[in-house]
Each structure stands twice: as structure tokens, then as C-alpha cells.
Chain A
Amino acid sequence: MNPFAQPLSRRRAMQESALGFGFLALADLLAGEAHAAGKVDPLAPKPPHFPARAKRVIFLFMKGGPSHVDLFDPKPELDKYDGKPFPGEKPRVQFAATGALLKSPWKFKQYGQCGQPVSELFPHMAQHVDDLCMIHSLHGTNPAHGGALLKFHTGSDNFVRPSMGAWVAYGLGTENRDLPAFITICPTLAHGGVNNWGSAFLPAATQGVPIGNAAIPVDKAKVRYISPLYPTNVQQRQLELLAAANRDHLQATGHDAMLEGRIDSFELAFRMQRTLPAVEDISRETPETQALYGLDNPTTAPFGRQCLLARRFAEAGVRFVQVTHSDTAVQWDQHGNLKRDHEKNAREVDKPIAGLLADLKRRGLLQDTLVIWGGEFGRTPVAQGKDGRDHNPEGFTVWLAGGGVKPGFRYGATDDFGYFAVQDKVHIHDFHATMLHLLGLDHERLTFRHAGRDFRLTDVAGNVVKGIMA
């Protein structure tokens, strides 16, 4: 057969081109175009709509609803009116009945050049306030965990929609073809579960690859099917024979992008099988770095390991890494035992998060990594019982760091008691629009056609919050 009678396929180009690897760049470029058309690999790297301030995201998700008035948004009025009824009108829809105002059991101090107040629960994180951009005026709509998690992760609390990590993977692809574009470390299976890292109608490859879940200790958590079934020499020979069979089949069928793509995918998988465990192997880190994340202490070690993994994935080119702090019982959901359990949670995450920020900074990764910290909502300034707070989606704090946001900055505010966002309000849709903007994506142009119309992460809403950008 005359090889010139066939259109040039990538595989043939590699086999036959006299230019060898010089040609590979062109072939990759051509393949990239085919990929962009959604034909074969939806994770091929794609350019952003406009120059990006951040290339990747690390999302530190505090499941359950951390109490903003006890952590980053102090309210002196609460001390003054402790035990008195809330003077304003409570939200029409509440999760449960609440009582009088409850002052914070913790002291606040101002830190850094910016003077951001942080509660005594976060002594380590407080050292990094000059790198943080606080948004005190986030607000959502749903006062229950399930709806609020879905709203925060997918932009919708009533329909199944792609998660924000999937949208980012869809929009930008992955920087490292040996790794997934979106990894979620120990996600919670409850309150929307898979939908919180799912791809819904986007290409399935954009969904988050979970490493374990909240019920599995992080050091036992693994990616599915990553462990070889056979000794290396057997598997290698097996894959050679598989490739030979596939080549024969391709020869008989003729050029086909799917068939060729699948042949390539085994080569990638073989590399991923080596790359992923290597990236997950934190024993390669120095004892100093491990200690920075609190791995030397049983309280901080689990979340510290998650944060260290997040940095290693981000460094290796994973586009969106989510780290969830949750367990099967307590989480950040203190309807009661606020003092005991918020202290427990804070102790577990404070040092690891501070370590992550310090580590990203010293490696030069913070400038193009967007770190997001937050929960699905905040908590009410009014009490449940004597030592608890209810869910509060009306106003809460999320902080950002790195990735083109103003460091040491505060944006927006809640009212005097911390119940409602009142100044420079940032709805969850606005937050999503802003996150995409920082990644170089226009939230109105990042669309996917499904069921006869275009869909967006921000539905028909969302304003980019320009005020927080450096």
C-alpha cells in the first residue's frame, strides 16, 4: 500500500516522519485541534479566553459551615448584646428555630500589615493574613447542607449541573496529560455526594477523580485501578501485545481518531500508573516540609497530608484540586458543642493550611495558584441552645489567596451582628464568575450545549468582582 494515499494520522506521522520528534510538536498541535472539537480527548490543554491570573485552583472546603463570626468576621456588638434578641428580622427561611444573640467564645486579634482580625482558633493561619483576600459578604440561598453544597460546588441547588472543577477542566484541559485535570481528595459522599465533583452533561473525563472519601483515612485513600495487577515485566509485555493487536485492527479498519486515541490512552495510562503514585508519595518530602504541614502530629497529620498532596498535585499540573475537611460525624456543623468541636476542627486544619500557604509561596507557586478557603455557608449570630449556632447562608466569609487577588485585603461586610451580607455583596454566582475570570475564562463564554441550549456554571447570573483583583 502506498502510504501517501492515506491522510496523515498522528500515529503514522510518528512512525514515518523523517523529522521525528520535531514533527511531534506539529502533530500534537494538530491533535490538539481535533481534541478541542471534543472528538477524542476533552482534557487536551486549551488556551484561556484572555490572559489568566491563575493557572490552577486549590479549594480547601470546610464541610458543614464554619462560623465566620467566630473565625474571621468579629462582631463587637455580639459581646454587647449577648443573650438579647436579634433586633432585626430573621430570614424568612431558616433551617431551625434559633434563640438570642450569642457572643463568640473566642478572642480576636489583629495581625500583619493589613491588620486583619483573626480569632484565636487560627493562630497559624493568622500569620498569613497579608497574603489573604477576605470576602466577608458571600451569600447563597439554601440553608440546608445538601442544597448549599450543591450550590457552592455546581451553582445550582435544584438541578444536577457540572461541578466547578469540571467546568475548569472543560475550559482549560489539563497541564499534565499523565494526570487527571480535577482531583478531589477525601470528598464527602453525603449532601450531593458525587454531584459535587461530577461532570453532569459535560464530557465525563472532566469529572473529579476522587482519592478516597471522607470515611476513609487519607493515608489509605487511592485512585481506582491505579495498582497494577501483574509484575511490571508481564504488564509491559501484555501492553506490547495489546498494541500489536490494536495496530492490526487499525490497519484493517483504516484511520479512525477514536481507535488511535484509545491506543494512545494505554501509553498514557501506563505512565499515569507510575506518575500518580510518585506524586502521591509524600515520603519524598523533607522532614522539614512534612513538619510544616503538621505531619509530625497526629491531630494535624490527616489534613496536613491532604494539603501536602494538594500542593504536589498542583505542582505536577493538575488544574483543580479540592481538599475536603470532613469526617463522618462532626464536620463544621456545630448546632451544639460549638466550643468543643470548632476547636477540634480548627486545630486539625490551622497548621496544615498555614503550611500549605508558606510552601506554595516559597516555591513560587502561590502567584499562579488560586487558593480558596470556605464552607457551604456560615453560622448564625443567634444561638441554638447555649453553645451552638444554626446554618447561615445570608452572609459568610470565604478567603482567597494567590492567583491575582489583592493580598492582605478585605472585601464586603456583614451587618453589625454578622447575620446578613450588606456591603459589596458577593453571591455564589458572582464568586464562580470571579474564579473563572481569574483563570482567564469568561463565565458567559464558557458554555456547553446540552438539551437544546447552552449552559454555564453561572446560569443566567454572576458578576465578576473586579474589586478583589490585584
Chain B
Amino acid sequence: MMLSEAYQRSSQLTPTQAVIAVDTRSAPVLGGLGAVQIASGPTLRNPLQADADNTLLWRFTPRRLEAEEIRDALLAVSGKLDPSYTGGRALMRLKNRDYVFNHTSKDGTDYDTFRRTVYLPVIRNNLYDVLQLFDATDATVSSGDRPTTTVSTQALFWMNSNLLQDNASVIATNLLSATSLDDAGRVRELIATAYGRPATEVEVKRYSQAVREFDTAYQASEPDRAKRQHKAWTVVCQIVLAANEFVFIK
């Protein structure tokens, strides 16, 4: 049901556009779609008011990407993702039968690859911290469900991690290499790549302006104009990647 296009589309509506109404007075407490009626008659109400928590599933509840999806999505939009199949020893740069880890805290862990996250090695003593940060449960526990938490250490990752900056930097390079585009065109390209939809005029204005601001901010520290442009675009690309729209599906 949650995958149905019509159902997802209903969640795209702004509250004022809502055409689906919920009558909570007559709805069973744990009602599903049965309690949702296509708008008609006197029961028409603002669904956000009637059922803000969406317990009656009148819209698709925004879902945060899972840990693996986050990494894959970042690599995908920068074009770095290596989609090839199969795992094998190519992912572990160790000698055959060599210890990744031993009791003296020797550390041969290596997560430095562009392969899809599903192929990353699982080193039980040194799990990939990005996955841990985004609620991948301990790799040695079987788990039927993962919680989805929102904590500030995750925000630190979006602000300060190399994974974010590196991907933002690659996208910036890609955008700047399209010499036929002006800044507005680049913003449109960026939003289309990251969010899969056309940019709004607000966004075009906001980010074109931001690029100029950051360019000015780096005026003193970066005399080379091309490098400065790249820095400014990297900062902007990172905003787009760190935003809720990139991290949540609705």
C-alpha cells in the first residue's frame, strides 16, 4: 500500500490542498484505510488537524533513508558509486588469513571504497561508524527492525564528515565543468540531481545568491578564482545533501 503511487502522491499535498478527509469520530481507533474517505459531505476536515500523527495512514509518513541508503545515495548523486556486483576479497586489502584485528588493537579495517554499502566488510570490532550512526544495529545481533533516531551526533556527520564534503566537492566539480550553464542553471541541475524534481524559483534565487556570498567569504583566503568558485559550490552542494529532502522519502 505504501508503495502505491496514488498513496504517495497524497502526501505531496500541502495541508491546504488536502482532499482526503478523516472523520475521527466514527473511525475505529486503529483504523486503516477503511477510515479514510474520499472527501464528501459534512465530514470534510483538515487531515492535519484531525490526525496529525497519521495514525490512520491518510498520507505516506516521511521515511528517513536507512544507513546503507544514505551512503549509497551520497555516492550515487556524485556519480562515484560503483554499482558492480559480487564481493570477495577485493574489498579487504589484507593477506589471505591475515587478521583484520588482533588483541593488541592492530587495525586493518578499510572502508575506503566506492562499492555499494551492501558489499562493505563487517569488521565486528570496528564497525563502520557511518552505519552505526544511522541506526544499523550491531552487526552481531539479528534484528527484525531498526529504530530511526534523530540525534545531534548525526547532524555533526552532515556538517563535518569527509564523506559529505568529498561528495559535495565532486558534485561541485561536475557542475562547474558544465561551462554552458550559468549559476541558475547549475542550481537547477543540482536540485534535479539530488532531489529528482525541478528546482523552485526560491531555490534558484537562494542558492545562486549563496554561491556569491560564499565566494566573497573566501575572497581573502583563496585568491585563485576557479578554486574559490569550487569552494563556494562545495559548501552549497553540501547544504542540498544535508537537507531533510535528501534524507527523507515522502
Contacts and interface: CB of A to CB of B under 8 A. Distances in A.
A273 interface: yes
Contacts of A235: 159
A271 to B, nearest CB: 8
Interface in B60-86: 61-62, 64
Chain A, interface size: which category?
Answer: 35 or more
Interface in B153-202: 153-161, 165, 200, 202
B135 A204 contact: yes
Given A5-B15, A227-B160, A180 B153 contact: yes
B155 A204 contact: no
B150 interface: yes
Interface in B93-144: 101-107, 124-127, 129, 132-138, 140-144
A200 B141 contact: yes
Given A7-B49, A204-B147, A205-B149, A190 B159 contact: no
Interface stretch (B24-32, B35-43, B206-214): B206-214
A198 B66 CA distance: 19
B62 to A, nearest CB: 5
Contact of A201 (B141, B156, B165): B141
A248 B144 CA distance: 34
A226 B239 contact: no
A248 B107 contact: no
A8 to B, nearest CB: 9
A1 B157 contact: no
A153 B42 CA distance: 60
Interface in A187-219: 188-195, 198-201, 203-205, 207, 209, 213-215
A226 B16 contact: no
B217 A190 contact: no
A7 to B, nearest CB: 4
A432 B81 CA distance: 46
Nearest to B129: A224
A230 B52 CA distance: 38
B217 A225 contact: no
Interface residues of B, number: 77
A265 B160 contact: no
Interface string A25-50: 00000000000001011110000000
A278 to B, nearest CB: 15
A225 B103 contact: no
A265 B152 contact: yes
Contacts of B221: 231
Nearest to B217: A234
A96 interface: no
Contact of B107 (A191, A194, A215, A265): A215
Contacts of B143: 201, 450-451
Contact of A245 (B106, B157, B243): B243
Nearest to B102: A190
A270 B242 CA distance: 14
A160 B160 CA distance: 31
Contacts of B62: 253, 256, 258-259
Contact of B206 (A178, A241, A251, A263): A241
B235 interface: yes
B210 A42 contact: no
Contacts of A248: 200, 202
B123 to A, nearest CB: 9
B135 A190 contact: no
A230 B235 contact: yes
B151 A205 contact: yes
B160 A189 contact: no
B22 interface: no
A237 B147 contact: no
A251 B244 CA distance: 12
Contact of B125 (A190, A238, A250, A258): A190
Given A231-B217, A241-B239, A207 B132 contact: yes
Contacts of B152: 177-178, 265-266, 268-269, 272
A225 B105 contact: no
A246 B149 contact: no
Contacts of B151: 41-43, 205, 265
A329 interface: yes
Contacts of A1: 15-16
Interface in B3-40: 11-12, 14-16
Given A42-B151, A190-B104, 18 more contacts: A177-B152, A189-B126, A190-B125, A192-B125, A193-B124, A194-B127, A204-B136, A204-B149, A205-B151, A215-B107, A224-B157, A231-B221, A237-B214, A241-B206, A241-B239, A258-B62, A261-B150, A266-B159
Interface of B: 11-12, 14-16, 46, 48-49, 52-53, 59, 61-62, 64, 101-107, 124-127, 129, 132-138, 140-144, 147-161, 165, 200, 202-203, 206-207, 210, 213-214, 217-218, 221, 235-236, 238-240, 242-245, 247-248, 250
Interface of A: 1, 5-7, 38, 40-43, 145, 160, 177-178, 180, 188-195, 198-201, 203-205, 207, 209, 213-215, 224-231, 233-235, 237-239, 241-242, 244-246, 248-259, 261-263, 265-266, 268-270, 272-273, 328-329, 450-451
Closest A-B pairs by Cβ, 6 of them: A269-B155, A193-B125, A268-B152, A215-B105, A261-B150, A269-B152
